[in-house]
Amino acid sequence: MRFLLVEDNIQLAKAICDHLLLDGHVVDHADRLSTTTDYLATTAYDMILLDIMLPDGDGREFLNRYRASAGKTPVIVLTARSEVSDRVGVLDLGADDYITKPFDFSELEARCRAVLRRHSGGATNRKSFGEVEFDGLAGTLTHHGITTSLRNKELRLLEIFFNVPGQICSKPKLVDRLFSYDEDVSENAIEVYVARLRKHLEGSNVQIITVRGLGYRLSLV
């Protein structure tokens, strides 16, 4: 997943980024609302983690404007306020969930997964396509009774393909989904991870097909 973290507490932001990066996610960090707006104008995100009190404005006002402008990305509010009225307020403004500081990182990730399941209409972390079952939480793919554990980038890449089976994913799009602005990578990195996934899928009726000049597609064969 690609996260946009909006948090001005540098220590907390670094801790969140480090934790998500260890799990193979991509995180862009904004410490103010103006930077947040710039990021959203150029990049599509799977999740926004939004602090309330920021140097150049109130996260609640930003959230209200974002939803009013038809912004659809799921938003989890990070708040130090524990009063019921405050929590109800951010939900009414369009937040998908909230978490009260201080929080455990495992709870934050669980809330992210729950929100994304609701948005996708699913009730489980497991997805099937052809003979292959993919478990995004366990980080595994299984076919013909054989389960393979995936490395972080392999996991996130297969997650992208399983979210849009049959659709073409271009190399630039995949780079955007797998790497942050701070990472200097070329499209050749995508070829490496696709090659690894193809080996894991050998023997199944699922393949990652190269669509010349366009990108890749997860297909049944």
**For residue 1, what pLDDT is reported?**
86
Both tokens of 61, joined, read: 């006002």
Same-domain status, 90 and 185: no
Considering the chain, what percentage of its residues have pLDDT values greater than 70?
98
Q: What is the CATH number of the domain that holds 54?
A: 3.40.50.2300
Q: What is the CATH number of the domain that holds 158?
A: 1.10.10.10
Which of 136, 167, 155 minimizes the C-alpha distance to 193?
155
> How many domains does the chain contain in total?
2
**For residue 123, what pLDDT is reported?**
60
Domain boundary among 120, 151, 178: 120
Same-domain status, 149 and 62: no
Same-domain status, 22 and 101: yes
| Kind and range of the H or E run holding 86 | helix 84-92
Range(s) of the domain holding residue 66: 2-120
pLDDT tens, 101-138? 999 999 999 999 999 888 877 666 789 999 999 998 89
pTM of the model: 0.81
